[in-house]
Chain A
Amino acid sequence: DAGVIQSPRHEVTEMGQEVTLRCKPISGHNSLFWYRQTMMRGLELLIYFNNNVPIDDSGMPEDRFSAKMPNASFSTLKIQPSEPRDSAVYFCASTVREGNQPQHFGDGTRLSIL
């Protein structure tokens, strides 16, 4: 079975550029999460969707970050404009909400903003 698929795996870009990260959750999962991980701050939840609807975006750092989930099989996380402090590994995870099931993570996108 295909797991959570993220793209790109690596992204290097200059500050000020727009960055778009993509995620395809596991088929049948109705909850999707975007996380950011750095050495200093660990794993931080950015936003959580349930049935394609954003439920909690309190972790989104600022207005430069936005996320969408137009359908059950696709989500994007966009940073515009990007800054060097946005450099991190961004993970997408999905799960079935009912029954408090564990999350399954994608391989992550390693983002470097120069």
Chain B
Amino acid sequence: RKEVEQDPGPFNVPEGATVAFNCTYSNSASQSFFWYRQDCRKEPKLLMSVYSSGNEDGRFTAQLNRASQYISLLIRDSKLSDSATYLCVVTKGGGYQKVTFGTGTKLQVIP
């Protein structure tokens, strides 16, 4: 089993739709979680951190479910500019901060 797994998609959704992605992780000792966005031929950029209580940033909501070992990203009122690949990142701390990126979920928002 991969350490971090994501559905590669693509998710094709119309403008204005709500879309959600999940990301599962295998290491129960994982401590920090993030969502990154990567546009075609660009570097990954931090979208938002994921906190235990869940957090929201505008149209974006991130949640963590430690019991089931997954994180989620919800995008409301999708915009064309949301089209990108969304990478989840899981970090295990301690003496060595092991960071694992998922392979990403591709989102295409259609006019």
A25 within 8 A of B: no
Which of A31, A42, A106, A108 is the one whose CB lies under 8 Å from B103?
A42
A107 within 8 A of B: yes
A45 within 8 A of B: yes
Q: Are B49 and A102 in contact (CB under 8 A)?
A: yes
Q: A102-B34, A102-B89 are in contact. Are A97 and B97 (CB under 8 A)?
A: yes
Which of A103, A104, A106, A108 is the one whose CB lies under 8 Å from B99?
A103
Q: A43-B87, A55-B96, A56-B96 are in contact. Are A102 and B46 (CB under 8 A)?
A: yes
Beyond A45-B101, A91-B44, A107-B42, list 11 extra A-B contacts (CB 8 Å): A42-B101, A43-B101, A43-B104, A48-B96, A48-B97, A100-B32, A103-B89, A103-B99, A104-B46, A105-B44, A108-B42
Q: A43-B44, A105-B43, A108-B43 are in contact. Are A100 and B87 (CB under 8 A)?
A: no
Bound CA span A43–B89, Å: 11
Which of A45, A48, A105 is the one whose CB lies under 8 Å from B45?
A105
A34 within 8 A of B: no
Provide the residues of chain A in CB contact with B98, threshold 8 Å: 56
